[in-house]
Structure 1
Amino acid sequence: METFKPIKPAKRPRIGLYSLGHAHYWNQFDGLLDRLLGYNRFIAERIGESAEVCNAGMIDGDEGARQAAEQFNAAGVDLIFCHAATYAMSASHLAIARTCKRPVVVLNLQPTAAMNYDATTTGEWLAHCVGCCVPEIANAYNRSGIDFHLVSGLLGLSQTPAISLADENTADHPEAIKAWDEIDAWVKAAAVKRTLDDGRMGFLGHTYPGMLDMYSDFTMMSAQTGMHVEVLEMCDLEKILQSVTPSETQSKLDQTHAMFELSEDSPADPLARKPKPEQLDVACRVAVAQEKLVHEFDLDALTYYYRGSEGNSLQQLQEAFILGHSLLTAQGIPCSGEGDMKTAVAMKICDILGVGGSYSELVACDYNHDTIILGHDGPFHIGIADGKPILRGMGLYHGKWGTGVSVEATVQKGPVTMLNLTQTGDGKLRMIANQGDAIEAPVLKIGNTMTHVKFDRGPSEMMNQWFALAPTHHAAMSVGHNRLQFEKVAKLMNIEFQVVSK
């Protein structure tokens, strides 16, 4: 399937890195410092594949720690990796975390799976005793009120340094692969936070009247997610629409034909019909205007809804939203309907992580298949579609004014995770992640996206436990089992995290 380049790529996170050592060792054990700095450079290079790395090198005393803290603050790092390279006293580096006030991930990465016991000297042992100081680090951080996390495993070198007396080629060892998956997940989480911190959320129109779960305090959203909220008027879009040329409309129509299969009339629902040429023309003109709106206001995500009065020109404009907003979602600008800004943020998180983020709600339960059907009549993330999505003409949108075209699709079969962003009674955001599996099962052909998801418990128990957490009734559907990744994002954003399914 054709895919689109993102309109605004995710930001590369800024990572602070330092290695720990004990200054007294360097004169006692020849070559040890250079060896440990080699490990430090290896880690920096690996993380540097997906992040900007500010590497302070070896920290073996309080003075160096204070200099590193200034270096990290000047670089504006999002996250700090503390590499336990050998035994080191906690006092020698505590100033970094205390001064920077950034989350710290302690890397307890042993260079070898097992030492060469018969040949190992004290200096050789000191290159491998990385876990020795980690309990001390954890204790000092805990008592100092510092937010820290741990990754233990193997370093993952692909070749053994000449100085080593043991086999350090552990790149393919499960404990190295697992550790680096964990490190990569932290880096991706930092990318989410940096992107949102610099992000701009468009709010077009208003929230669907009466849906109290979706109402958002703009100040709260900016304070807790970092995103600026740009309030947009329908007349902003209407003005841009006047500039759309026939050639731009034709180009968008060509793009639509490449991305979608055009439906015939639904055999079941007389409201779901083959799209009319005039419907497609209007939808493509509006889609061009929607993309121009994103560029003009430099948006990273968009939430929208406009009811208007029957026959109103702006109400007719909103009838054509679904196609363009689905195309924008495929280009890294997630769009959520009904003015649900919290779900737009959840969709953006999924998109930054490269796992989709399709606008969904509960459609119905299927107790024969033991599934909950999830989907919506709004924008769909084309990048996670199972096959080519269908574009269907709608004689009437359910619960809304007007007619137009809508996307009908199902998510790829296999592991999926629902990410819900809700707000609690005390004004705090809460993330809820539920893992399940999308399965093959019949769906309705009425112009909505729908996917059967089987969770680790039956629909009734799943709903009781999920809904007891007071979710927003929409959520972002992602592909893959992403609970652990989402949890890291929540930690870095200081947002409460809950999960129902395993």
Structure 2
Amino acid sequence: MTSISAIKPSKKARIGLYSVGLRAYWEQFPGLRERLTEYGQYIEKRMSAWGDVFNYGLVDTEGEGRKAGEWLNEQQVDLVFCHAATYSTSSTVLPVHQINKAPVVFLNLQPTERISYDRTTTGEWLAHCGACPVPEFANAFNRAAIPFRVVSGLLGLDYTPAISLTNEITHERKEAVRTWIEIEEWVRAAAVPRNLQHSRFGFLGNSYSGMLDMYSDFTMIQAQTGLHVEVLEMCDLDRQLRQVTPQEVKAKLDEVHRMFQINGDSPSDPIARKPTEEQLEWSCKVAAAQERLVREYDLDALSYYYHGAPGGEYEKLQSGFIVGHSLLTARGIPCSGEGDLKTAVAMKICDLLGTGGSFSEIVVVDYVDDTILLGHDGPFHIAISEGRPVLRGMGLYHGKQGTGVSVEAKVRTGAVTTLNVTQTGDGKLKLISSEGESTNGPIMRIGNTQTPIKFRQAPDDYMTSWFAEAPTHHCALSIGHNASLFAKVGELMKVKHVTL
């Protein structure tokens, strides 16, 4: 994703880690304990690229397990990895997670792709038998009603320890590559609940009248995500607008010229024309006010909609929203239109994971190319754009009041994933993911964002599957194939996830 400085840096996940073994082994097999500790340190180093890692070290008795559980509580970890370094009794491991309630992932990571059968000793074998205790752990955790996950594969060292009797350089093998992709996803996913629990989402104005799928229960949102919803009024933004200086407007105008193309009239749509200087200046003044609002209320995301009385001051104010909200979205403050708070959550999840998250809905189906165009009249996530987005002056906003400047753009060609956050009939949030490919197919020149996407099913089959999940009609469009990553986010948030 294109690097654009964030207004508020996100928090890294706090990751707990410990390795397990059997204390009786240490005197019987000199060097084994140190060898397993070294493996744990390697895991710690790799994980530190994505989160803040707290490595307790070896847990080898039931009493040590209780100490580890208390220590992990002190570190306020979001997720714990238990490295099954060699055989250990389940009574050693279970107390850790009866005391520390963070989700747990067992790491079954064999150091070698194949032991040296002719040379292997018992001590050598024990350094490679991490899979042995995992069924025992699974049984104990199941009976204790503690959920668990398992990652199995190769450790992926890029060297062989001096004590080893076999080759342990496995980092290029597919079993190691796959394993570390999965570990990375767990660490990155763990950052999402932590950030949402510390987030403030602004809700400015109201929801578009009649869009029943978008109406949200703010208490339900906080109960299931931990985020706070700050209800804002248009007069809060208007107050910021009155404080904007000419220097701030010029700075925003410079930012707009760096990030956007200012194109001429649309070749096809008479309501989409080259923005006038007055329209651009007004959008930049509103954008400066929008950033002021975000900073004053310490917001992490914003959902908004306001139609205003015809000809009123607030109608004019909302007409300048799209440019500023696109700029904010690119800088880590996702903004969702039409008062769709649930899609703001989806956009924030995508942004926290570094995958973008642009406000979208179904635009039209292209049965010739077998694609579905997804997009909206704004805002757009500039950081995942195919080239520089285009600004067009709109003679009217379809279905809404007012005129102004809109964004015409597409998400870059390649792998993409949609993320929809919806609400079920019993009040539960649900995540829906769909992977596809953004193509280089044509788009309309009407001042809206549009991305042609080829999903894994034919358009009609895909839409039938999607609609059957009762989604909201908006979604966040992210770059990359992220369904596995989003599924882990859902599991850690205790929110159901469906992959189409």
Q: TM-score range, shorter-chain basis? A: over 0.9
Name the residue aligned to 2:252. Answer: 252
Query: Where do 4+ consecutive residues of structure 1 move more than 3 Å?
Result: none
Q: 2:36 aligned with 1:36, yes or no? A: yes
How far apart in 2 are the matches of 1:99 and 1:189? 23
1:347 and 2:347 aligned: yes
Query: Does 456-465 or 379-388 show the bigger shift?
Result: 456-465
Q: Superposed, which structure 2 residues align to 1:217-236 within 5 Å?
A: 217-236=217-236
SS at match of 2:444: coil
TM-score of the two chains, using structure 2 as the length reference: 0.99
State the distance in 2 between where 1:454 and 1:419 align.
16
1:16-165 alignment, distance < 5 Å: 16-165=16-165
Say which SS state the counterpart of residue 405 (structure 1) adopts.
strand
Deviations 1:129-152 (A, max 9, x none): 111111111111122111111111
Counterpart contact for 2:2–2:384, Cα < 8 Å: no
Aligned counterpart, 1:271: 271
Count matched residues.
500
158-167 or 329-338: bigger deviation:
158-167
1:230-379 pair list within 5 angstroms? 230-379=230-379
The answer to whether the 8 A contact 1:156-1:176 is kept is yes
Pairing of 1:201-220 with structure 2 (within 5 A): 201-220=201-220
- CA distance in 1 between counterparts of 2:8 and 2:94 reads 37
Query: Which letter maps to 1:60?
Result: D
Letter in 1 for 2:94: L
After superposition, where does 1:465-484 map in structure 2 within 5 Å?
465-484=465-484
Aligned-partner Cα distance in 2 for 1:3–1:309: 39
Q: SS of the counterpart of 2:133? A: helix
Instruction: Structure 1 unaligned segments of length 5 or more: list them.
Output: none
User: 1:163-182, aligned counterparts within 5 Å?
Assistant: 163-182=163-182
Letter in 2 for 1:389: P
Q: For 2:365, give the aligned amino acid.
A: C
Instruction: Work out the CA distance in 2 between the residues paired with 1:413 and 1:320.
Output: 29
Distance in 1, matches of 2:122 and 2:2, equals: 58
CA–CA distance in structure 1, aligned partners of residues 18 and 379 of structure 2: 44
Aligned 8 A contact 1:199 1:227 in 2 = yes
Q: TM-score, normalised by structure 1?
A: 0.98
The answer to whether the 8 Å contact 2:93/2:137 transfers is no
The one-letter code matched in structure 2 to 1:404 is G
Q: In 2, Cα distance between the equivalents of 1:63 and 1:207? A: 55
Higher mean alpha-carbon deviation, 390-399 vs 452-461, is at: 452-461
2:447 and 2:108 map into 1 onto residues whose CA distance is 51
Does the CA contact (< 8 Å) of 1:5 and 1:331 recur in 2?
yes
Q: Distance in 2 between matches of 1:287 and 1:20?
A: 54
1:50 Cα deviation from its structure 2 partner: 2.1
- Return the letter of the residue paired with 1:33: R
Any residues of structure 2 matched to 1:414-429 within 5 Å, and which? 414-429=414-429
CA distance in 1, matches of 2:136, 2:66: 20
For the pair 1:384 / 2:384, whether they are aligned, the reply is yes
SS, match of residue 27 in structure 1: helix
Letter in 1 for 2:4: F
Q: Which moved more, 1:140-149 or 1:77-86?
A: 140-149
| Contact 1:409/1:449, CA 8 A, preserved across alignment | yes
CA distance in 2, matches of 1:343, 1:457: 24
CA drift of 1:3 comes to 4.3
Find the residue that maps to 1:130 and give its secondary structure: coil
Contact 1:157 1:170 in 2 (8 A): yes
Q: What are the residue-to-residue correspondences of 1:175-190 with 2, within 5 Å?
A: 175-190=175-190
- Alignment match, 2:488: 488
Give the distance between the partners of 2:268 and 2:390, measured in 1 at CA: 16
Q: Which amino acid aligns with 1:384?
A: I
Q: Given that residues 241 and 285 in structure 1 are in contact (C-alpha distance below 8 angstroms), is that contact kept between their aligned partners in structure 2?
A: yes
Task: Give the secondary-structure state (helix, strand or coil) at the position aligned to 1:398.
Answer: coil
Q: Could you tell me which amino acid in structure 1 is paired with residue 469 of structure 2?
A: L
Cα separation, 2, equivalents of 1:426 and 1:2: 39
Kept after mapping to 2: 8 A contact 1:2/1:258: no
In the alignment, the residues of structure 1 paired with residue 91 and residue 277 of structure 2 have an alpha-carbon distance, to the nearest angstrom, of 72
- Structure 2: distance between partners of 1:421 and 1:62: 42
Within 2, Cα distance between the matches of 1:462 and 1:116?
A: 50
CA offset digits 1:354-395 (Å, max 9, x no partner): 111000000111111111111000100011111110000000
Please give the alpha-carbon distance, in whole angstroms, between the structure 2 residues aligned to 1:172 and 1:462: 36
Task: Give the structure 2 partner of residue 499 of structure 1.
Answer: 499
2:234 partner letter: M
CA contact (8 A) 2:21 2:87 kept: yes
Give the Cα separation in 1 of the matches to 2:99 and 2:54.
Answer: 16
State the AA in 2 paired with 1:234.
M
Q: Against the structure 1 CA distance between its residues 115 and 3, is the aligned structure 2 distance closer, same or farther, given a 3 Å change threshold?
A: closer
* CA drift at 1:49: 2.3
Query: In structure 2, what is the Cα distance between the partners aligned to 1:143 and 1:312?
Result: 64
Separation in structure 2 between the aligned mates of residue 160 and residue 435 of structure 1, nearest angstrom: 38
Q: How far is the alpha carbon of 1:2 from its aligned partner?
A: 7.3
1:192 shift after superposition = 1.1
Is contact 1:2-1:259 (8 Å) kept?
A: no
Instruction: Name the SS of the counterpart of 1:83 in structure 2.
Output: strand
Secondary structure, in 3 states, of the residue corresponding to 2:83? strand
Q: How far did residue 225 of structure 1 move? A: 1.1
Q: Is the 8 A contact 1:81 1:104 kept in 2?
A: yes
- Indicate the residue corresponding to 2:443 in structure 1: 443
Name whichever of 392-401 and 434-443 sits farther off: 434-443
How far is the alpha carbon of 1:315 from its aligned partner?
Answer: 1.5
Deviations 1:254-302 (A, max 9, x none): 1100100012111211100000000000000110111111111111110
SS in 1 for 2:229: strand
Q: Distance in 1 between matches of 2:185 and 2:458?
A: 30
Secondary structure of 2:465's counterpart equals helix
How far off is 1:479 after superposition?
0.9
Distance of 1:460 and 1:170 partners within structure 2: 44
Residue type at the aligned position of 1:167: N
Q: How far did residue 438 of structure 1 move?
A: 1.1
